[in-house]
Structure 1
Amino acid sequence: MTLRPAAVSPNLALDQEVARRRAAGAPVVHLGFGEARVPLHEGLTRALLDGAGRTAYGPVAGDPGALRAVAGYHARRRLPTEPGQVVLAPGSKPLLMALVAAVEGDVLLPCPAWVTYAPQARLLGRRATAVAVPAECGGVPDPDALARAVRAERKAGRRPRLLVLTLPDNPTGTLAPPSLVRRVCAVAREEDLIVVSDEIYRDLLHDPATPFLSPAEAAPERTVVTTGLSKTHALGGWRIGTARFPAGDLGTALRDRVLATASEVWSGLAGPMRAVADYAFGEPPDLAGHVRAGARLHAGVTRAVHRVVVAAGADCRPPAGGFYVYPDFEPVREALAGHGAVDSASLERVLLERHGVAVLGGHHFGDDPRALRFRAATSLLHGATDQQRRTALDSADPAGLPHVARELDRLAEALAKLTA
């Protein structure tokens, strides 16, 4: 028997490569991995220790207390929710894959889109169709292009059924405005698409006054919302994710199918993590303040990186949430070509191998491989130690701190050499 070659997800592979280079003594400005990197709140540590005695298997969907906490979390965000509409899992990634498995049909994605969506569809034998995003933001496809894509897929005999949206977006760091969300949801309703709204960055808006409309408000009968604690609480390694299903028969059927997959794949969220979920989604005031402080930190550093790439000649949408920017270096293509950077893969390679800057090329996100675009994740600039990260969290100007400014200067120097 011959097995086809497979590859580790590019963001995880790049993070491992950076670790290897650093272990060998090479300095690297790491902008290639979306790990939140804010200090751990002490209440989360207490919750973990309190849950350490939970060694028995728990309910597949999650403990009743944690389900109530997640339901309350959504209710505070204009999404009235019953505990029976919620499922917890070891991270939102397995929930997303279980949702693809639960829906009998193919997947529609904005282009560019997070590196995991399309591979999950392919692993399950589903087709993933990328649809261009509008000029102003990523995370949602252009509504007119979406309608055309659905009809073209059906004309070709395929079954587009699941639409994945990201608000705020990874990789572009932008947020679709409410008017655009409504238009996309109108297409979803007209074409009878099920919507998955990945809102894991929702609580990391750079300006908390920015209008946010969840697709679960615009199309409540057909939208599943996924989120987790990896980004807002910097708990990527603890693996805690949730899904909120719509009320009604469709939501019940989808939740039942996801639970069937969960029972055969991950059984349930680990006991200590169920205690953490109960505490974190309950949002006690001190923890909520910690999350807001983290959002301010992400905003300050991400805006600084945005200034650096724009100064180097890139076109780049201003970031609105999370910790990403997605610059386009097409305006300086001729200069980059002189250094061997002629597409996103070679730009990624030149930056890492010659200048010690790690980014993820746009081709990993389904973008045109000929384009000169990459995603820069900014949160690893907060500091190499917990003390540096705490200093950054408490600072009114984190980008001005010496340890952050040094990394920004190294990025600026590398881009200047490539684009001069």
Structure 2
Amino acid sequence: MRRTDPEGQDQGPVRDTPARGHGPVRYGPPLPDDGLPVLPALAAALAAAAGRGGEEPVGGGPALLDAARGYWERRGLPSAPGTAAAGPGAPALLLALTAALGGDVLVPRPCAAWWAPYARLLGRPVFHVPTPAESGGVPDPYALLETVRRVRDEGGDPRLLVLSVADDPTATVAPPELLHATVEAATGEGLHLVSDETWRDTLHAPHATVLLSPAEMVPDRVTVVTDLAGALLPAGWPAAVARFPAGDSGTALHARVLDVLTALGARLAGPVAAAAAHALDEPDPVIDRREAVVRLHARVAAALHTAVVDAGGLARPPQAGRHLYADLEPLRAALGAQGVGDAQELEDFLTARLGMPAPGGHRFGDDLQALRVRLATGPLLGGTDAERLECLTSPAPLELPHLQRALMSLRSVLDDLRDDAQRWEPPR
């Protein structure tokens, strides 16, 4: 198989993932976890519903959907009855949406690791569109138009664009002007948009960062999907909600998605639905924990960014989430001496050296040959619940000995690469 760039130029053969046991689906990286024990109020909500042995109705019960509509209302996205659905995690909802909409799928490069596999599972082609230099998650509008034209010229049928304003893996937030241009280009080409807003409540500087949803711009062409593992629930309690457009087209899409969820048996467990509804209602303990978690991970992500840049790597400053996307291309010579020549080898090298997952950029649709990697902040918080909780409650978490040791270890690995790279620089 060969690959082409967005202009349709042949880029040569696609290299298979080199090592056995590194498949893109079963071994793909999960969402970056917050690394913290479950909030007691959420545990109590789950325990109170533990006697519910039944499942939720397909698409969620009334209490959960009412809570979801209230959640969106507080974010300027009013939602009428019959325009919301819930499922056991965002992947189930995206799979159902992709099946319901049909056609080919467009995604940014890079993008969340779980987006493309669900389209491919359905036999749908997936086309990656480059993002601009300042942010990820939202494709460049001109590259999007060119990709749509090329796909159609080759007999394809692009119908769906998946994007994220607050992004995994790049941890950036797309500026409103870029988002507006991309949304305008997509809707002008007749595409339906799925806005993954899993990370919208994890802005590192919420009062200094403008985050707009595409659903605010074109309410009749955007379905919003939010995985509650982003900011509200533990990752092990899978739950997600989707907000559909109002009107006939949204109603029809909602109905088709419920059909697919029914065929999949994709229902939430009753106790998890109760905890999800409690979290979506956003009582004070949930808000307080979320804000504390965001502050903690923002500090650690900033320290991680400094370590990467000081070592000579490249990274956009993190603005959301619990991760950083690093480009270690400037350290290629030093990494090459360690047997690292592509993203899979970089993943293996850093995972072993850091003692924590470090998925390579190829997991997110990036070029296998590029030395890019997503680094998560959660594994740096400590090895025990007590250490992680101490990070959460400390006024100066970066001064805690166990977090200092974790950051020093990471810095040491990166600094060794920088020093090696500098020794091998040719004389000027």
Matched residues in 2 for 1:82 and 1:415: separation? 51
Question: 2:80, 2:22 → 1: CA distance?
Answer: 37
Deviation of the 1:12 alpha carbon? 6.2
Deviations 1:377-397, CA, capped at 9 Å, x for gaps: 112222222211211111233
Deviations 1:39-87 (A, max 9, x none): 3211111110121122123321211111111000001001011231111
Matched, 1:13 2:11: no
Q: How does 1:108-257 map to 2 (within 5 A)?
A: 108-209=106-207, 210-257=209-256
1:314 corresponding residue in structure 2: 313
Q: Distance in 2 between matches of 1:170 and 1:289?
A: 23
Tell me the TM-score normalised to structure 2 length.
0.89
| Kept in 1: contact 2:59–2:258 (CA 8 A) | yes
Aligned-pair distance for 1:297?
1.0
For 2:301, give the aligned amino acid.
Answer: T
Helix, strand or coil: the match of 1:319?
coil
User: Could you tell me which amino acid in structure 1 is paired with residue 152 of structure 2?
Assistant: R
Matched, 1:40 2:54: no
Does the alignment pair 1:71 with 2:69? yes
State the alpha-carbon separation in 1 of the partners of residues 21 and 200 from structure 2.
30
User: For residues 245-284 of structure 1, what are the structure 2 equivalents within 5 Å?
Assistant: 245-284=244-283
Q: Which residue of 2 aligns with 1:84?
A: 82
Preserved contact between residue 326 and residue 374 of structure 1 (Cα < 8 Å): yes
The 3 A distance-change label for structure 1 pair 266 and 9 is farther
One-letter code aligned to 1:13:
Y
Q: Residues 114 and 170 of structure 1 are in contact (CA less than 8 Å); yes or no, is this contact kept in structure 2?
A: yes
Q: CA deviation at 1:308?
A: 0.8
Q: Which residue identity is paired with 1:79?
A: L
The 2-side partners of 1:127 and 1:407 are apart by: 41
Question: 2:213 & 2:399 partners in 1: Cα distance?
Answer: 34
Q: Residues 63-116 of structure 1, C-alpha deviation per residue, up to 9 Å, x if partnerless?
A: 111111100000100101123111111111111111111111110010011111
- Give the CA deviation at 1:417: 2.0
Decide whether the 8 Å contact of 1:70 with 1:83 is kept in 2: no
Q: 1:12 to 1:307 in 2, by over 3 A?
A: farther
Number of residue pairs matched by the alignment: 399
TM-score (norm 1): 0.91
The answer on 1:414 being equivalent to 2:428 is: no
Distance in 1, Cα, partners of 2:83 & 2:22: 33
1:97-112 matched pairs, under 5 angstroms: 97-112=95-110
Q: 1:278 Cα shift?
A: 1.6
Q: How far 1:309 sits from its partner (Å)? A: 0.8
Does the 8 Å contact 1:38/1:234 carry over to 2? no
RMSD of Structure 2 on Structure 1 (CA): 1.8
Answer 1 or 2: higher relative contact order, Cα 8 Å, separation at least 6.
1
Query: 2:56 and 2:165 mapped to 1: Cα distance?
Result: 31
* Identity rate, percent: 45
Distance 1:48 1:351 in 2: 37
- Rounded to whole Å, the distance in 1 between the matches of 2:111 and 2:212 is 19
Q: Shift of the alpha carbon at 1:286?
A: 2.1
- Equivalent in the alignment of 2:390: 391
Name stretches of at least 5 consecutive residues in structure 2 with no aligned partner. Answer: 1-19, 420-428
For 2:278, give the aligned amino acid.
Y
Q: Deviations over 1:165-218 (max 9, x none)?
A: 112111111010111111111011100100001011111100111111001111
Give unmatched runs, 5+ long, in structure 1.
Answer: 1-5, 16-31
Structure 2 residue aligned with 1:380: 379
The SS at the match of 2:236 is: helix
Q: CA deviation at 1:350?
A: 2.2
More displaced stretch, 409-418 vs 33-42: 33-42
User: Secondary structure of 1:242's match?
Assistant: strand
Structure 1 residue 128: deviation in Å?
0.3
